[in-house]
Amino acid sequence: MRRSIRAALLMTLIAGAATACQAQDSQGPDEGSEPGGPSESLEGATDEPDEAPGADEQPNEGDPETFTIFSSGDVLPHDAVIAAAAQEDGGHDFVEQLSGVQHWIEGADLALCGLEVPIAPPGTEPVGYPVFGAPEGLAESLAEVGFDGCATATNHSLDMGMEGLEHTLVTLDSAGLGHAGTARTEEEAAEPQLYTLERGGREIVVAHVANTQIHNDPFYPPQDAPWAVSDGSPDELSALAEQARSDGADLVIASVHWGEEYAHSPNDQQRDYAAQLADGGQIDLVFGNHTHTPQPMEELQGGPEDEGMWVTWSLGNFFANQDEECCIPETAVGVMAFAEAQADEEGARITGMSWSPVTVDREGASRDDEVFRGIYPLAELMDGEHSHDIPQDALESRWERVLEVVGEEQLISEAPEAAGESPEVHRRSAR
């Protein structure tokens, strides 16, 4: 019998609430609990336990404005993904394969993707391994399902050379998507990507900066354009964030491409880089990518005003063609991460994180027999929603493993609801 995720979460929270109440009766409040920790998250446990951020909230006049910032894991269209999106007219449309998670993307107030690959320039056939060049239709499809922008600094940014890098940004611009991490000019490289949200009569400016700590040989930035792919130190990324704040940003979000492929926890380089970002005090939140496997999330000391800096060490795969049949099992699941934020007259801050797993419906152990069908919210599949061809034992194994890696504390199983209209995307300078 298919088990109900929402029911399971409810029983977990009820049991936890009872334990917490008993402990509080005997010991009093735990002053050491971190914001968003178990004791705080159990307040109001009579409501739905897996209620998404922003759902059905009716703020009173004078209350802080609340909103969510979403990031996906790696958008990495392999050959089978490209083939599944091919149209009779020679174009590509990925919306059908992304439609299972569209309500999650559209439910965020600001939705960012981790675009790992360039868009193939004119005259170049799209390719999905070992170098990558996605069809132009990918950008349009990402925008259609609700994304507002993407991080573009990765180890594959230059797979199609500078021509591909530049064409990627032109294509994203044409689709109305923001971008951070790569640039056509030195001037553009010095500009963070800005988004403006209007919430409660207040304008909230969110800046996005991005960086990769990994390059594939021989695809390094050209000597005459070292700024083409952002790959600098924590101090350099913090300086760009500081500039964003001076330009009016209320929040600064960083996407960092780092870590060891197929690892399930952050390595020393990730931790050292993040610690320096937190010490810099300019970045509110880091979305990590690259490993193709989920890693935990945690709040580090430091950050703006010493109020902490959240890090998702790696969000794993989002839109890719990997699972236990071709690769290690953890590649079949990624993390949809939601940062919960508040803004008032004193500024804006990240107040917590939540997440839900996404998984792939595919088959084939070799490139000759691969079939890609799409991606879906794993919690919804476990609850019997959506038509798919993933074996039940694989679903259950994926669910148990991702909970083991990421943890259940911030898990949600219902999509959030945006608090207002889509953000304004400010185009960076390409002059």
pLDDT over 60 at 47, yes or no: no
pLDDT over 80 at 62, yes or no: no
**Position 74: which residue type?**
D
Write down the pLDDT at residue 367: 80
Write down the pLDDT at residue 135: 98
**Position 356: which residue type?**
S
Structure tokens belonging to residue 211: 């960086």
Rounded mean pLDDT, 284-309: 98
Q: Which residue has the higher pLDDT, 13 or 211?
A: 211
pLDDT tens per residue across span 88-121: 999 999 999 999 999 999 999 999 999 999 999 9
Burial class of 97 by CB neighbour count within 10 A (0 to 12, 13 to 18, 19+)? buried
Share of the chain above pLDDT 90, in %: 81
Among 3.30.70, 1.10.3470, 3.60.21, 3.90.1200, name the CATH number for the domain at 67-323+338-344. 3.60.21
Write down the pLDDT at residue 61: 56
For residue 267, what are the contacts with CB-CB under 8 A and spacing of at least 6? 259, 260
**Residue that has been written with the tokens 């079939």 in this structure:** 371
Write down the pLDDT at residue 50: 54
- In three-state form (DSSP H/G/I as H, E/B as E, the rest C), the secondary structure along the chain is CCCCHHHHHHHHHHHHHHHHHHHHHHHCCCCCCCCCCHHHHCCCCCCCCCCCCCCCCCCCCCCCEEEEEEEEEEECCCHHHHHHCECCCCCECCHHHHHHHHHHHHCCCEEEEEECCCECCCCCCCEECCCEEECCHHHHHHHHCCCCEEECCCCCCCCCHHHHHHHHHHHHHHCCCEEECECCCHHHHCCCEEEEEEECCEEEEEEEEEEECCCCCCCCCCCCCCCCECCCCHHHHHHHHHHHHHCCCCEEEEEEECCCCCCCCCCHHHHHHHHHHHHHCCCCEEEEECCCCECCEEEECCCHHHCCEEEECCEEEEECCCCCCCCCHHHHEEEEEEEEEEEECCEEEEEEEEEEEEEEEEECCCCCCCEEEEEEEHHHHHCCCCCCCCCHHHHHHHHHHHHHHHCCCCECCCCCCCCCCCCEEECCCCC
Rounded Cα–Cα distance for residues 36 and 77 (Å): 35
Q: Which residue has the higher pLDDT, 346 or 181?
A: 181
Rounded mean pLDDT, 338-365: 94
- Cα 306 to Cα 282, 283, 368: the distances in Å are 10, 11, 52
Please, which pLDDT band fits residue 366 given cuts at 50, 70 and 90?
confident
**Residue that has been written with the tokens 């553009």 in this structure:** 188
Please, which pLDDT band fits residue 64 given cuts at 50, 70 and 90?
confident
pLDDT over 60 at 51, yes or no: no
**Position 378: which residue type?**
L
User: Domain coordinates of the chain in residue numbers?
Assistant: 67-323+338-344
Structure tokens belonging to residue 316: 């794993």
pTM score: 0.87
- Angle (deg, nearest 10), helices 137-144 and 161-174: 30
Please, which pLDDT band fits residue 233 given cuts at 50, 70 and 90?
very high
Please, which pLDDT band fits residue 187 given cuts at 50, 70 and 90?
very high
Write down the pLDDT at residue 368: 80
Residue 46: Cβ within 10 Å count: 8
Rounded Cα–Cα distance for residues 321 and 373 (Å): 9
